[in-house]
Amino acid sequence: MPYNTQQIKRDQQNSPIPQYFNPTTDVYEALLGRNGANRVELYGPDGNPIGTTNGKLNVRASEIETLLAGGLPAALTAGGGLKVGVVDALPAGANIVGQVKLTDGTDGLLINTNGSLNVVPVNSAGTELFTAGNPGNVQLTGSIESITSAPAVGVKTVTATAAEIFAEASAKANRRRLILKNEDPILRFRIGPSTVTQQNGFPVEPGAVIEIQFDPVTAVPIYAISEGANLSVAVMEI
């Protein structure tokens, strides 16, 4: 029914109250409000009410429109991404961060081709270490110079037939050093790889001591051969 067929609302003094006509219910209803203002529903230029999402108006402010229309490109990266300042901690996950500067210095952190961080060690004064002018002090632990197990000792007979040389019943596992002492007062013996001969091996003079250092994780057999008669060699493996 049209509004002019309905009775308007009145107060106790029979005066009209602020009201509006509700076409859905076909009656006048009192206007509600708060803080001295009426409740208002916003309508867009298309005549439809502006909706809300989670209690917020679905409105793009003019400032945002301005940014989107031309203000943002100056802040975009070459790839079209937004340049942003990271304030909060990055969430866990595969975040890819490009060049990072820890301070306002001119040099950014460098990433190696294998993905590791390129780190230049410096001392407390900021001077780069391990250079020719500032070599720095280093203490190694667990190096192959250290003994980690009991040494193996024994005496081996070296003959004119080349044979592997070691201290005990077989070469010491993960040995770091092989020490040989020629106990013969006259004869030399020679050491080398499996192709060692009485001519091409490295000579060990009578009474001489030779030390060979190894990478403990790589087993390398050493062979010995006498230049003449059989002789005894004292052997220690560390």
**Alpha carbon separation from 179 to 37, 134, 160, 205, 235 (Å, rounded):** 100, 36, 20, 14, 6
Residue 65 sits at φ, ψ, to 5 deg, of -60, -40
Q: Are strands 33-34 and 37-38 parallel, antiparallel or unpaired?
A: antiparallel
Q: How far is the CB of 183 from another protein (least distance, A)?
A: 13
**Residue bearing tokens 């780069």:** 128
Of 148, 169, 166, residue with least CA distance to 219: 166
List the one residue from 52, 148, 200, 230 that touches another protein (CB under 8 A).
230
Could you tell me which stretch among 7-15, 88-96, 191-199, 201-209 binds another protein (CB under 8 A)? 191-199
Q: How far is the CB of 176 from another protein (least distance, A)?
A: 20
List the one residue from 33, 108, 221, 228 that touches another protein (CB under 8 A).
221
**Alpha carbon separation from 93 to 28, 58, 90, 97, 210 (Å, rounded):** 58, 32, 9, 12, 56
Site string for another protein, 133-172 (x = CB under 8 A): ---------------------xxxx-x-xxxx-xxxxx--
Nearest residue (CB) to another protein, 155 versus 208 = 155
Residues that bind another protein (CB under 8 A): 154-157, 159, 161-164, 166-170, 194-196, 221, 223, 230
